[in-house]
Amino acid sequence: MTTHSDGVTDGRGDAAVDVRPVAGHIGAEITGVDLAGDLDDAVIAGIRAALLRRKVVFFRGQRLDHAAHVALARRFGEPVVLPRRGTASPPDFPEIETTADRLELGGRFGMDHDEWLRRRRHTLLRGWHCDHGARVDPPAATILRAETVPPYGGDTTWSNLAAAYAGLSAPVREFADRLRAEHRLGVGYQPRPGDDAYVRHLLDHQTASEHPLVRVHPETGERVLFVNGYYVEQITGLSRPESAAVLEMLLEQATRPEYTVRFRWEPGSVAFWDNRATIHLAPGDTAHLDHPRIMHRVMLAGDVPVGVDGRPSRPLTGTAPGRW
């Protein structure tokens, strides 16, 4: 068996980090790096270069605590401070959101977690998303670390949206380059019969933006198919039937298996992904395992997407650049 290494150099010919691709279009494992340590600038630059090229990078056997997690994130950008978190998130580290908070969300609106997921993810493509895509300035990147995971199951999958765009035929790329789409929180949610507390919450806390359907990556210059199943509401200027058909085609393109990578978590694993160039799918196979899955994430502040024509995204309601 041959192992292919894609070492990133520091400009002097020395490999700053050992980068081993794990799928054809996306994903790499970086070895020999202690993320809790005092990383020199060449290593940080090597990780950043690998992230931009491979879209998501993985580390195993890390010993990050909350403070080290936040310190690591600051080497790559400005951590987002969320105004609202659940009780599982550490109160002394406002930059960290613990994903077990998600188990509390349905209860706020009178639903158990299973019903909450069923009403939000009722098609095969609905779960695919970038983080906070309804904002006018979605996070640039996310660093997620695993504390406790089930002995099996619980994998996360990512897709490379730059590769998905490049894989379209030239006429479809040219068509998509000119389009914009509305991204809105709560798209596709199936209401409960009668009064629905979550619907009332969505109406009171609308968040929506109009993004280019193809964004230009601010660091690599790549064109990125900026679609996801969780936030995209409507392609601007198309009829509802036209929009639905085009979005289904583009979402199927974005999630084709050849553009994806699936990661098996272990305690101490860290995934660091470019939220501008990927969408990901959280696991749905652990609810029946009766085993905790505790993950902690820090997101890095992002910019306002810009389309092929140079026009930036625009806020529609409930969002403004830099204001969380």
Positions annotated as catalytic residues are 129, 131, 280, 297
Alpha-carbon distance of 132 to 121, in angstroms, equals: 16
Other Cβ atoms within 10 Å of 17 Cβ, number: 25
CA angle 14, 16, 22 (to 5 degrees): 115
* Amino acid identity at 22: V
CA torsion through residues 33, 160, 75, 270, sign: negative
Please, are residues 231 and 183 in contact by the beta-carbon 8 Å criterion?
A: yes
Burial code (b: 16+ CB inside 10 Å, e: under 16) for 121-137 equals beeebbbbbbbbbbbbb
Q: Tally Cβ neighbours within 10 Å of residue 49.
A: 17
- Amino acid, single-letter form, for residue 104: E
